[in-house]
Structure 1
Amino acid sequence: MVEIYCVEDDKNILQLLVYALKNNGFEVKGFVDTKGFFEEIEKNVPSLILLDIMLPDGDGLDILQSLRTNHRTKDIPIIMITAKSSEYDKVVGLDSGADDYIVKPFGIMEIISRINALLRRVNLDTTKDILKFKSIYLDYQKRIVKVEDQSINLTYKEFELLYYLLENKNMVLSRDFILNKVWGYSYEGETRTVDVHIRSLRRKLGIGGKLIQTIRNVGYKIGETDEKKDI
């Protein structure tokens, strides 16, 4: 079971986060100050931490640095939560060792999506993240894609799109579903974004691109070819 620790001094935000995360299947513990958080983390190391930068009894960046220099906690995925939205503040947070950075106010579905993406990205079970289908080979941890042993250079979103298609092999995925999963629930773009990336992905994959099937009026899939011709 994935266990998440939330460190947030605003009790209303903390209650909302704890409630939403529990409803999405996570084990959650909330802390309004650093004292209780450090006491608990001495007993147990969570799967992921949501950490507010501005706390009443400490600075989130100092806590982040402390976690990253402790051998027990240095590899825990950490998402910083803050009201500071400047590029400089984001860079400082990420350069200090944060894995992601979310600015208040945020949508609950956005934070759930980011948590899931981060947990998948840092999953230590690398065999789970090596996906193969016919001529296509993808190693998620190493960010490698090959078609017939030839390396393929993909953009970040093209890679995520291909991974998601392979992860759901033989399943028909709607454009809306793909948009939400790959671009995130807060993304305000149109489903045409998916079509544009599919075209680019097919072109770059060459012969492997023919394995991406268009399902009329629905979306796309990677898998065994249907008896009827795909459109």
Structure 2
Amino acid sequence: MKKFPLVLIVEDEPAIAELIAVNLRHNGFTPIWAEDGEAAQRELNAVLPDVILLDWMLPGMSGLQLARKWRADPRSKSVPILMLTARGDEPDKVAGLDAGADDYITKPFSTQEMLARIRAVLRRRAPEQVADSVSIGALQLDAGTHRVSWQGAPLKVGPTEFKLLHYLMKHAERVHSRAQLLDKVWGDHVYIEERTVDVHIKRLREALGSASTMVETVRGAGYRLTAQVDSAKLIAADA
């Protein structure tokens, strides 16, 4: 039997939630609705969805608080989150991405835009087809087991950051523009802003710890992963 992707809609306005649910059903998705954070958590505890559509303004816990909570939970940290909000300014978008959202949909939005963004995050979260391993200096990545280590110690790297690191390590010493990274790591990036790359580079550096200096910013050009790192920088980072 064909499995239809399960979409959890966290929205406190019933009319909007019903409109979204109807369009999802007509396009091959199975929607479930929760009107606040408490109800959403119950749904998550029962069945893990394939995607979460999360409204920013909710009674009780806000969408940002819920996104942070679910990203910190090992069970739900890999579920794609699309933030729904009327806040369209760049600082708000960055806040949503920093909280753990994978994408951002500004109200009002068209049905086709919503569906395209859902399909895009599902494609981006698809398992890696190439299960190889790569090493750059003391940094090691195994795509088959989804593990990263630095100087033999394991590192905790999120799913999107893992794909980003994998690509950078496979193409070390080359400078990649944000547009190139979006194309190679995210795939179809029609609806994804280049600022998204900066957010995930920041998260990747935080996850790498003292190895973060290997991810270089090339002003006006993009990013590069290099093994040619000044040992003094590594010592300073470890301090």
- TM-score > 0.5, shorter chain as reference: yes
Question: Does the C-alpha gap of structure 1 residues 25 and 158 become closer, same or farther in structure 2, counting only changes over 3 Å?
Answer: same
Aligned structure 1 segments of 4 or more residues deviating by more than 6 angstroms:
none
Identity %: 35
In the other structure, the counterpart of 2:17 is 14
CA distance in 1, matches of 2:71, 2:189: 29
1:28 maps onto 2:28 in alignment:
no
Deviation readout 1:100-132 (Å, 9 max, x if unpaired): 111100111001001111110111x211899xx
Secondary structure class of the residue paired with 1:93:
helix
Deviations 1:21-66 (A, max 9, x none): 1111011101122222111111111111000010123211111111
Equivalent residue, structure 1, for 2:56: 53
After superposing the two structures, state which structure 1 stretch, 29-38 or 114-123, moved more: 29-38
Question: Structure 2 CA distance, aligned partners of 1:44 and 1:102?
Answer: 24
Aligned to 2:8: 5
Contact 1:157–1:182 (8 Å) recurs in 2: no
Alignment match, 1:80: 83
Q: Which residue type is aligned with residue 156 of structure 1?
A: A
Q: How does 1:160-179 map to 2 (within 5 A)?
A: 160=183
Equivalent pairs, count:
157
**Superposition deviation, residue 95 in structure 1:** 0.9
Task: Give the Å deviation of 1:143.
Answer: 4.8
* Corresponding residue number in structure 1 for 2:190: 183
Letter of the structure 2 residue corresponding to residue 62 of structure 1: Q
Separation in 2 of the partners of 1:80 and 1:5?
A: 12
Query: What is the CA–CA distance in structure 2 between the aligned matches of 1:24 and 1:111, rounded to whole Å?
Result: 11
For residues 80 and 50 of structure 2, what CA distance do their matches in structure 1 show?
7
Structure 2 residue aligned with 1:126: 128
Change (3 A) 1:152 1:42: same
Amino acid paired to 2:78: D
Deviation at 1:158, TM superposition (A): 9.5
Q: Secondary structure at the match of 1:24?
A: coil
Aligned to 1:156: 179
Q: Within 1, Cα distance between the matches of 2:182 and 2:120?
A: 13
Q: Which runs of 5+ in 2 are unaligned?
A: 133-162, 192-239
Q: 1:71 to 1:108 in 2, by over 3 A?
A: same
Instruction: Give the SS at the match of 1:183.
Output: coil
**Could you tell me the TM-score, scaled by structure 1's length?**
0.58
- The answer to whether the 8 A contact 1:4-1:26 is kept is yes
1:152, 1:129 → 2: CA distance? 24
Output the CA distance in 2 between the equivalents of 1:182 and 1:73.
24
Q: CA deviation at 1:159?
A: 6.9
CA distance in 2, matches of 1:97, 1:158: 19
Correspondence for 2:116: 113
Tell me the SS of whatever aligns to 2:74.
Answer: coil
- Kindly state the Cα deviation for residue 11 of structure 1 after the two structures are TM-superposed: 1.2
Q: For 1:60-99, what aligned pairs fall within 5 Å after superposition? A: 60-99=63-102
1:12 and 1:84 mapped to 2: Cα distance? 19
The 1:153–1:61 alpha-carbon spacing in structure 2 relative to 1, beyond 3 Å, is closer
- Tell me how far 1:71 sits from its aligned partner: 1.2
Q: Mark the CA change 1:86 to 1:41 in structure 2 (over 3 Å): closer, same or farther.
A: same
Contact 2:34 2:43 in 1 (8 A): no
Change (3 A) 1:129 1:100: farther
| Cα distance in 1, alignment partners of residues 179 and 80 from structure 2 | 20
